Amino acid sequence: MAKENKKQVEQITDMEVDFAQWYTDVCKKAELIDYSSIKGMFIYRPYGYAIWENIQAELDRKFKETGHENVYLPMLIPESLLQKEKDHVEGFAPECAWVTLGGSEKLEEKYCIRPTSETLFCEHYKNVIHSHRDLPKLYNQWCSVLRWEKTSRPFLRHREFLWQEGHTMHATPEEAREETMRMLNVYADFLENVLAMPVVKGRKTDKEKFNGAEETYTVECMMHDHKALQSGTSHYFGDGFAKAFDITFTGSDNQLHHPHQTSWGVSTRMIGGIIMTHGDNNGLVLPPRIAPVQAMVIPVAQHKEGVLEAASALLERLKKAGIRAKMDSSDQSMGWKAAEYEMKGVPLRVEIGPKDMEKGQCCICRRDSGEKVFVPLSELEEDVKWLLDEVHKGLYARAKKNLEDHTRVCMTLEEVKTFMEREGGFAKTMWCGGLDCELAMKEQSGVTSRCMPLEQERVSDVCVCCGKPAKHSILWGVAY
RNA sequence: CGGGGUGUUGCGCAGUUGGUAGCGCGCCUGCUUUGGGAGCAGGAGGCCCGGGGUUCGAGUCCCCGCACUCCGACCA
């Protein structure tokens, strides 16, 4: 048997050699994605799309548990509608794509292909919200959106990408704020407990917040290369959009009020996060809870009598136990199959051959550690379930260690600079709250503010940049 | 949008002073194999990114585009 840490997959560039190339190699070799003829628009291949489907299924269930309903709104936004909220249109105008023709006729008014749907939801909410009895409205939409990005990378930045956008309306600011935090926590819980990605929850600075929002909250994750990936956002809008769109309701006090609004979203970008959080030099490593195939059964020496039947029996037992299992009985060699499913990140490989059959056992290999264990056939289902949980825990622990090892308290700008140059990661400092200091940090050490963590930790009394009294603890980093 | 790199068969590449294309992998057929990317034999597959030029003749030289990719800038 091969040594555990040996590199098995030669087609993938080592991440230490070239991280960006490694990432692209994994996307292509694991058959997640293909390039299309349109720059920045990608084809989600079956294996990549299946990951998204599993993410959708889990999240959709959580959204419904928290009282949300799915809707679907048009993909085109009239220019006049988009322009109703000033900050919002300023933020999105540079990356809008427009429809100007209907058939062969020029349209009276051009239509923007939705970059996000706040304006459409507002137009609709104006029609359906009249009384405090109509509130709250808790809507979610699964769809794709379009942003004309200048550069693109698989999963991380597409011109068209898949996402969900929640849009809710509430009678009071308190209720809306509560919703904003509820959904941030849904995302954090999902990332940690399903995707095995540890997060830092926090609030964005004014500079980094969503155009038109009063407050933007984020879950930030750290990738293998110590860069940050914003993996989900939740916005509190106050009544800004409601005023701009003239949405009112009559309260129980018989007075007219503007409702208070939230929106929140995650996208296929999370798949990029999975790749860069868990992947290794042999390819993709999938967290078991969203892996399209959790266990791949491989018959060894399958030409020998009874092997195929024994493997099929294992497959059936695993499926019956609710495990997403498949079998590869193609005539590829054992080595080829092992390498293939490592590259594709399948959490467990279940092998059975003549020797195992004699002993009444099978061999299970973990993708995360390469560790092989022999388990008695009688304990198959419970051991596989246990191992899937162990893989999840192992991945989480490893990612958590990466996050902690590369988060550094810094007292001076010099320290931040040195830290970013030497290893990179999250620099934890105090901050006065001023835009000038935020810009200076970017200018001098290349970092942007990632978030002001919800768990504030007073590491000093003065701002890391200007030395004036500090208002917040804050994380800085280089972001995707 | 700036700077670099790359466009030749499904993928990865070679192609000299210009002479009408080759290798490896993969694919197909057959036989032999099978506990970590198997071996032998045979076979199929190309508008050399596009458009102009120079030339008797362009994958190759010259101009102009386009795409991908990396690094910046930009990016709720």
The pLDDT tens digits of the residues spanning A188-219 come to 999 999 999 999 999 999 999 998 899 999 99
DSSP, collapsed to helix, strand or coil, labels residue A299 as: strand
Gap from A34 CA to B57 C1', Å: 40
Gap from A11 CA to B61 C1', Å: 36
Gap from A14 CA to B68 C1', Å: 21
What single-letter amino acid sits at A65? E
Gap from A372 CA to B31 C1', Å: 35
Gap from A404 CA to B22 C1', Å: 53
pLDDT of residue A57: 98
pLDDT of A6 over the 50 cut: no
- What b-and-e string marks burial along A376-411, b requiring 16 or more CB atoms within 10 Å of the CB? ebeebeebbbebbebbbebbbebbeebbeebbbebe
What value does the mean pLDDT take over residues A317-346?
A: 95
pLDDT tens digit sequence for A13-50: 888 888 888 888 899 889 898 887 778 888 898 999 99
What value does the mean pLDDT take over residues A215-239?
A: 96
Instruction: Output DSSP code: residue A13.
Output: P
Minimum-distance nucleotide, CA of A211 to C1' = B76
pLDDT of residue A3: 26
Minimum-distance nucleotide, CA of A356 to C1' = B35
Instruction: Output DSSP code: residue A478.
Output: -
Minimum-distance nucleotide, CA of A442 to C1' = B73
pLDDT of A152 over the 90 cut: no
Rounded to whole angstroms, how far apart are CA atoms A260 and A256? 13
Alpha-carbon distances, residue A42 vs A143, A164, A202, A229, A452 (angstroms): 15, 18, 31, 20, 34
- Share of residues in chain A with pLDDT > 70 (%): 98
Gap from A318 CA to B5 C1', Å: 48
What value does the mean pLDDT take over residues A128-146?
A: 96
Look at the block and give the residue holding tokens 């499926």. A319
Minimum-distance nucleotide, CA of A42 to C1' = B68
Q: Which nucleotides of B are covered by protein (CB under 7 A)?
A: 1, 33-38, 67-76
Angle, helix A269-278 to helix A19-29, in steps of 10 degrees: 110
Minimum-distance nucleotide, CA of A37 to C1' = B67
| ipTM for the complex shown | 0.84
Look at the block and give the residue holding tokens 């990378």. A153
| A10: confidence class by pLDDT, cuts 50, 70, 90 | low
pLDDT of A414 over the 60 cut: yes
What value does the mean pLDDT take over residues A373-401?
A: 97
pLDDT of residue A148: 87
Bridge pairing between strands A76-78 and A228-238: unpaired
pLDDT of A379 over the 60 cut: yes
Distance from chain centroid for Cα A203: 17
Angle, helix A46-65 to helix A173-193, in steps of 10 degrees: 140
pLDDT of residue A469: 97
Q: Which tokens go with A432?
A: 């006065």
pLDDT tens digit sequence for A96-112: 888 888 887 888 899 99
DSSP, collapsed to helix, strand or coil, labels residue A234 as: strand
pLDDT tens digit sequence for A243-302: 999 999 999 999 999 999 999 999 999 999 999 999 999 999 999 999 999 999 999 999
pLDDT of residue A395: 98
Residues paired with residue A407 on neighbouring β-strands, in sequence order: A426
Protein residue minimizing CA–C1' distance to B67 = A39
Gap from A103 CA to B51 C1', Å: 30
What single-letter amino acid sits at A315? L
Minimum-distance nucleotide, CA of A207 to C1' = B76
Mean pLDDT of chain A: 93
